[in-house]
Amino acid sequence: MRIAIVGGGPGGLYLAALMKQLDAGHEVTVWERNAPDDTFGFGVVFSDETLGGIESADTTIYRAMESQFARWTDIDVAIDGQSSTIGGQGFAAMSRKELLRILQARVAELGVQVHYRTVAPDADELRASHDLVVAADGLNSQVRGRYADAFGPSLDPRHNKYIWFGTDLVFEAFQFIVRNTEFGTMQIHGYPYSDQGSTFIVEMHEDVWRRAGFDRTEDEVFPPGVSDEYAVERVAEIFADDLGGHRILTNNSKWLSFTTVRNARWHHDNVVLIGDAAHTAHFSIGSGTKLAMEDALALAACLHEHDSVPKALAAYQDERKPVVESTQRAAQASLEWFENIGMYADQDPDEFVFNLLTRSRRITFENLKDRDAEFAARIQGAFARQVAGGDELAPAMFQPVRIGPLQLKNRVILSPMDMYSAVDGVPGEFHLVHLGSKALGGAGLVMSEMTCVSPEGRITLGCPGLWTDEQRDAWARVVRFVHERSTAKIGLQLGHSGRKGSTKLMWEGMDEPLPEDNWEVVGPSPLPYGEGCHLPREMTRADMDQVVADFRDAARRGMEAGFDLVEVHAAHGYLLSSFLSPISNQRTDEYGGSLENRLRFPLEVFDAVTAAVPAHVPVTVRISATDWMPDGNTEHDGVEIARAFIAHGAAAIDVSSGQVTKDEKPAFGRSYQTPFADRIRHEVARPAGVAVIAVGAISSHDDVNSILLAGRADLCALGRTHLYDPMWTLHAAAEQDYTGPAAEWPDPWKAGRRRPPTARTDKIPPRLALLREGTENAVHLRWRPGASEAAAPAPTPVSA
């Protein structure tokens, strides 16, 4: 096979070596525009999983790399000089220059032809003359650009500025240094790569960068290899205490903005992308070199296992792309966290450290407990003292919490979920069992589904309401059961469907209009929710007055039914949400245009509800923090929407997102909406003493505890999780060996707290046992120059 590789970085060279080993008859040629000794950056980081693959594929390369490794298991976090150490993580790093030297020597030994200081021939020419063309030419890939229509690249430049330095200060562990300066928050990502130096990456938001004067050289064009010396002077001055007299080292060091690269497809005809040409992941969760070498391993294996290039490239994309996309999701969460690090400037130091470690959602509280039990106990104790004034090390989810004047036994909420099972708006036996079972199952607060304030405000014919006394009395039965049979509280969510009304039941056709007997739907503007949906009538002032009255009357009936809390539904594209979003609200009067105007009517409704309930009943609001649309509300608008409702007395902000249009493009993933809750909590809710509720793809007690301990939210609302297991909260308590009052089993069920006699409680799965043994032995193992490799075992790695 004739193989052309464009780019002689680690990914391209490693692939060349692998293909030559698999078949010495392969004719492999590499083009690299730089000289062999031109390498930028300092150290590269690897996981044990990657190293295991390298060892299996080429022991010569692995042994040469192993001799250069710096290994350590700690993470040190220093915040304005106050340091914390967390053990049991597992890292290995080496000099990028040494890695390239090893790979260059190996390909030369194997007979690979490498053209250094040479621009590759035109991609079309390579395609015609080779069986396979590999684009390993990095972030600004010319090959990818040549076939952009086929690959479908997406480049997302981010908001932070960073510069890649080295230092002759040899760190003993992975080092995060955070400085809250007069200009804003700055951070260092550092790690040792040899006994002579460490990588030293400086990062900050562009606004901080400008305020600190780093933009002084913004318009200056530096020749290749020439570094920004002014940046060196300023960084050395700001981080003088952390450097302790050690030097900053440069290597083509210039300010950059990180760009996230994604591609819809990784192969086209006989051309394939690897490394930064195919994808990038922010340096805060790992190494682009690591990902590129993993790509090379996967591609070589697929080429070896399949009898044709097209089959091999399809298999490579199918196998490798989902793995990389998972890494990119974690990287996206991590880079966004660092972009917003200034939000946490006043956070408790222990809480800040835990927040930093769990920023990408790959590390959780349980992970840390297995790796560094002492640190985990400290975090749990700090949370207990902060929220309960005591030292009881109960799981965070079982610490008490208040929503305004309402005390809850724990921080778990049954999220409102439409059940479409009412008749004429009257909740029945189904609702009694649905809500009653979740109350018996341990949730601190169970929420009704969106309860409609008028017949015209229903989504479907199966939606419950509170526009009649009969409906009130039916709800009162459900409320009595919850109060008499459990220690849970029960909340009422009030809403109006707006332009999303008069549709079929969900399982008959979600958002599809009824086949007959439709009612008129209304909205802020005559714009349908999506293709095939109703065209709403634009609301008049008289319509608005009627809706305000309907909400007020429904809230009054809710109080007569005995509900403990009322939530105004201003999310998900229903009536109030559609007023808030510029996607659905294009009015030209005082209720459209600016966000201040778009808030006007939803706030009128909220004020009417608040006036209809007594002072001891909190009124909360659910909002969509972003529309997931280019011209819609953003997370910044979400903060301002929350701020406005807090100013009008909201006791909690229930932070959801989207569903304002069928055309939305949400970034689904585990706990994917939590960052919005985090931002709202730190920017507006926490200073006002208002609770924040996180929702969206939260399904494990570990995720709940991690969200709470990191300070991203005060409570977590779980929906589908409770449908899967109505007793989820009690089961979570049992799994965590918690038996306190925050997870009290009903008297008839208390025997269920004990595992059945057939349960195997005396055995730990072998893999878990090995993991625990390994981490106990390496909780605070640190790498030091001159330490023997035998003294540095590497536990299972976890990327942050």
Pairing label, strands 174-181, 184-192: antiparallel
∠ CA 512-516-521 to the nearest 5 degrees? 60
CA max distance for the chain: 87
Q: CB–CB of 623/663 below 8 Å?
A: no
317's tokens: 């994309």
d(CA 534, CA 527) in angstroms, rounded, equals 9
Cα(656)–Cα(364) distance, rounded to whole angstroms?
A: 22
DSSP element (H, E) containing 557: helix 541-561
Is-contact 176 27, C-beta < 8 A? no
Q: Is 574 a catalytic residue?
A: yes
Cβ distance 176 to 800 under 8 Å? no
Backbone φ and ψ of 779, nearest 5°: -60, -45
The residue among 433, 136, 465 whose CA lies nearest residue 288 is: 136
Position 341: which residue type? I
Q: Is the dihedral of CA 381, 385, 386, 387 positive or negative?
A: positive
Whole-angstrom Cα distance, residue 549 to residue 540? Answer: 14
396-431 burial, b at 16+ Cβ within 10 Å, e below that, comes to: bbbbebebbebebbbbbbbbbbbbbbbeebbbeeeb
Q: Quote the CA–CA distance of 263 and 271 in Å, as a whole number.
A: 14
- How many angstroms separate the CA atoms of 713 and 32, rounded? 49
Whether the Cβ atoms of residue 360 and residue 330 lie closer than 8 Å to each other: yes
Spatial contact of 243 and 179, defined as CB atoms under 8 Å apart? no
Q: Are strands 43-46 and 27-32 parallel, antiparallel or unpaired?
A: unpaired
Alpha-carbon dihedral of residues 172, 174, 179, 180, nearest 10 degrees?
-140
Under 8 Å between Cβ of 143 and 6: yes
Number of helical H runs and strand E runs in the chain: 28, 29
Q: What are phi and psi of 260, to 5 degrees?
A: -85, 125
Which residue among the candidates 147, 193, 574, 591 is catalytic per the annotation?
A: 574
Catalytic residues: 574
